[in-house]
Structure 1
Amino acid sequence: IGPIVADEQSLGIIDLQSPLQAAFAQADIALLQLLGQLAAVAMKHQGARLLTPASETEIIAEHDLLLSSRLAVVNDLAAGVAHEINNPLTTILGYTHLLLRNQDLPQAARDDISHIMVEGQRIAALVERFLRFAQPSSGGKIPLPIDQPLNEVLGLLRNRIAESGIQIDIDMPADIPMVLGQAGQLEQAFLELLQNAIEAMSTSDQRRLGISIAEQSEWVRVTISDTGRGIRPDLLTRVFEPGFTTKVDKGISRGLGLGLYAVHMIAQDHWGRVEVQSQVWRGSTFTVCLPAI
């Protein structure tokens, strides 16, 4: 009767036979031709569905390869930069320490050198973060109270929080839940989230940092919220991508876009996840969810 054609491509043919002459009226043939057209549409649609998984797999594989290559370059760069900075920084900190031991040093000079020491130590901490990213800790996980790594980071940032004029609200239960974790990695995750929160509020009139710990349905939830600039809805799905950053000033990226990716990977390595909610100019809330033990 005729071919089954879609987009000028032959997908099959309708062949209707009968031993009788004039067995099919013209109306019957027209109906079968219409069925052939419908079959062509259905076959084309099914073919697209069959091809889609393979196409998605190829896209995902290519995306993963690109991310792996990018991360490998960043890891090498981080290790190299850390090494190049550490050498002169060690010398600077060493000499400032020696100068501060001089009892005859005028107070004004002592204050200036102390400031150099503090800023040098801040650089050293930044270098340490680079090294932790380039060479992730391979330490084993042990049972620990979730407030342990969180309080460690809060101790490091307490002065910065105070200097930034941020009001901090902490809500922790009397019975702190336990998780199976690697303290160094969890400290890195909380440090990244807290520093992001502090930076997000740099231009805010109301600066409130909220930190809470709760256990819900066998999950330990550590929530960090701020009243900063927030994140646009169309960017929320991308914040955990490596290389993606919302820290853009006059069209220039001010971050590597690796911090939240590291948080995401650390949470996954602890059998958990990271949730995010945000409203532009209202603030953001990040929640690290880990299995309770």
Structure 2
Amino acid sequence: MSYLDNIRTFVRVYDLGNMSAAARDQRISPAVASARISQLEAHLGVRLFQRTTRSLAATEQGRIFYDGACGILEAVALAEAGIGDVTENPRGTLHVAAPLGVGRRLIAPNVPEFAISYPLVDVRLRLSDRALDLTAEGLDIAFFLGLPADSTLRIRKIADCRRILCASPDYVERHGHPERGSDIERAKHNCLNLRFPGAKEFQWHLQTPDGPQRFDVRGRYESDDGDVLTDWALSGAGIAMKPVFEISEHLRSGALVEVVQENPPVPIQMACLYTHRRHQDPKARLFMEFAIARMEAALADDQLPR
């Protein structure tokens, strides 16, 4: 039995002046109520009630303890009410990170709607294609594409995103339409690589009849911003590997076309990371559920037929 339960029972016995009535009020048996009072008296080292078979009366120590006990229960009630209010009406600042393409297309457009529903929450959205340290950088949630480096954090998978290799019709007309990964290597196509300081030498992980294989690719242009690669591809500069959701409008318009259809890229995982806490911050949990629902809907609408 918890000390707080013992205090609650004591207060009800004091208020009602009857052990059985207090037990009914708390939906416990008279024996349990009596045991709680006995435990409390043993803890305090004093007798709180004078009890006979027919009457019950508070001792002087019981009357003194009653005022303090009421204060304890009131403080607990206020604290619980405060938590309940934060849960129902979350407040504070929420720090969220995401890759540029994911953040710009799938998260940022929905932040105003979240802000209307939860006006006491301030969202700080940080967009970067670089790997981020959730704990060191004070982030609550980090959306990402690929596999996380830190396995100590919790992972919530959202989807496996289809990727394609794409180029502009002008590039294909000038340099040919590669059908297989080996065509890229043999013809030395200009590949537009997403790379940032510390990244390993670049390879494209493509699907083949013999299973996934890595192909060495080379290119004159590199950037740590995925949207820059899209712009370069649109300008006819080379071939880019892109998630379909990032370039679906350009594929529909014909500004970009799919190449290397026989060996498409291996899909990439979209997921989010959050800290391993037994009781997660309500505003972080709410934003994660809110964002994921809308991301899943957008991805379903944006996936083009194979």
TM-score for the superposition, normalised by structure 2: 0.24
Select the structure that is richer in helix. Answer: 1
TM-score (structure 1 length as normaliser) = 0.25
